[in-house]
């Protein structure tokens, strides 16, 4: 009985933090993304995307693949900065993929802006890469 | 040798159509979504979403969960119709999830409109349900 109780405690301790851990891990990746973007380091931003990733920007045509994403990021970092990403929810999609829902604030030519976003993270060679990145505005 | 060649042929025959098959299957689900939406059948549209799905509309706050999605769809079907969804790419994310990238055309109060979208499909009780639905415009 005590053994079962111990097991239950262990499962409780393990089961909850798995998701909490994912959320913390994903938030850290987002902080890394923002730091790179805010420095205008398009190569470091692009390195966080999967080789065949899709970026679907609000207000611009879709961009496919890491190289094209680097070119696009290089272009938009000229007017955009001060990014802060907030992970709201992380849903695991099997062992090697996860859906993240979040919000972002930024400055566009000095003006404050905000969007909501949905990204899909996928493990590529053991590390999480962005496979899908899409955002839009509430307004 | 002949056996290896046969195996290679078999793999070739099997491997390519799996993805092609997914794309056809997903396109059929999209056609089902459009048919329901264009009839103004918000309940049938909502039934295609996972219980805890996220809808992130362009120009409106995010909507969470099937019931809230039904309410939102009911509201927007009043001004929107003539939807046509086109699946551009499907990427499997493990056995029970897939990312889809596509485009949609529609009429908003009689005016033609177009968006690009990213959706995540997840198997729920053996059938594909929308877990994430987000779109935006190129302009």
Cα distances (Å, whole numbers) of residue A4 to A10, A16, B73, B133: 10, 18, 47, 42
The answer to whether the Cβ–Cβ distance between B62 and A101 falls below 8 Å is yes
pLDDT of A137 above 50: yes
Asked if A50 and A122 count as a contact pair (C-beta separation under 8 A), the reply is yes
Mean pLDDT of chain A: 90
Return the residue in A56, A57, A61 with the most chain B beta carbons within 10 A, the one to mutate for interface testing.
A56
| SS3 state of residue A29 | helix
Asked if B21 and B29 count as a contact pair (C-beta separation under 8 A), the reply is no
Distance, in Å, from the CA atom of A137 to the CA atom of B137, rounded to the nearest integer, reads: 11
Half-sphere exposure of residue B38, counting CA atoms within 13 Å on the CB side? 14
DSSP string, A37-76: HHTT-HHHHHTTEEEEEEEE-TTS--EESHHHHHHHHHHH
pLDDT of A138 above 90: yes
Question: Looking at residue B20, what is its pLDDT?
Answer: 72
Mean pLDDT of A65-94: 97
Token duo for residue A99: 């859906």
Question: Looking at residue B21, what is its pLDDT?
Answer: 75
Asked if B81 and B108 count as a contact pair (C-beta separation under 8 A), the reply is no
Mean pLDDT of A101-112: 97
pLDDT of A131 above 90: yes
Question: pLDDT tier at A10 (50, 70, 90 boundaries)?
Answer: very low
Provide the residue-wise pLDDT of chain B in tens; the chain has 139 residues: 455 555 444 444 444 556 677 899 999 999 999 999 999 999 999 999 999 999 999 999 999 999 999 999 999 999 999 999 999 999 999 889 999 999 999 999 999 999 999 999 999 988 999 999 999 999 9
Q: Is residue B68 exposed (0-12), middle (13-18) or buried (19+ Cβ within 10 Å)?
A: middle
pLDDT of A12 above 50: no
Give φ, ψ of B47 to 5 degrees.
-65, -15
Give φ, ψ of A102 to 5 degrees.
-155, -175
Q: Which residue of B has its CA nearest to A98?
A: B93
Consecutive H or E run containing B112 = strand B111-124
Q: How many angstroms separate the first and last alpha carbons of chain A?
A: 57
Chain A residues close to B72, C-beta within 8 Å: none
Q: How many CB atoms lie within 10 A of CB B135?
A: 22
Q: How many CB atoms lie within 10 A of CB A110?
A: 8
Cα distances (Å, whole numbers) of residue B38 to B54, B78, B120: 21, 10, 22
pLDDT of A9 above 50: no
Residue identified by tokens 């939807």 is B83
Q: Is A104 on the interface with B (CB under 8 A)?
A: no
Question: Looking at residue B9, what is its pLDDT?
Answer: 46
The answer to whether the Cβ–Cβ distance between A93 and B89 falls below 8 Å is no
Question: pLDDT tier at A21 (50, 70, 90 boundaries)?
Answer: confident
Asked if A65 and A45 count as a contact pair (C-beta separation under 8 A), the reply is no
Query: What ipTM goes with this model?
Result: 0.87
* Residues linked to residue A63 through DSSP beta bridges, in sequence order: A55
Residue identified by tokens 């979504």 is B33
Chain B residues close to A134, C-beta within 8 Å: 117-118, 134-136
């Amino acid at each position: 009985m005590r053994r079962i109780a111990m097991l239950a405690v262990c499962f409780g301790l393990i089961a909850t933090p798995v998701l909490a851990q994912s959320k913390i891990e994903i938030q850290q990746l987002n902080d890394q993304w923002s730091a790179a973007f805010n420095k205008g380091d398009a190569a470091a931003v692009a390195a966080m995307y999967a080789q065949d990733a899709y970026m679907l920007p609000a207000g611009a045509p879709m961009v496919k693949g890491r190289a094209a994403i680097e070119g696009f990021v290089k272009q938009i970092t000229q007017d955009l900065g001060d990014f802060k990403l907030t992970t709201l929810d992380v849903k695991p999609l099997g062992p090697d993929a996860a859906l993240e829902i979040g919000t972002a604030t930024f400055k566009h030519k000095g003006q404050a802006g905000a969007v909501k976003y949905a990204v899909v993270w996928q493990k590529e060679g053991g590390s999480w890469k962005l496979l899908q990145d899409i955002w839009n505005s509430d307004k």
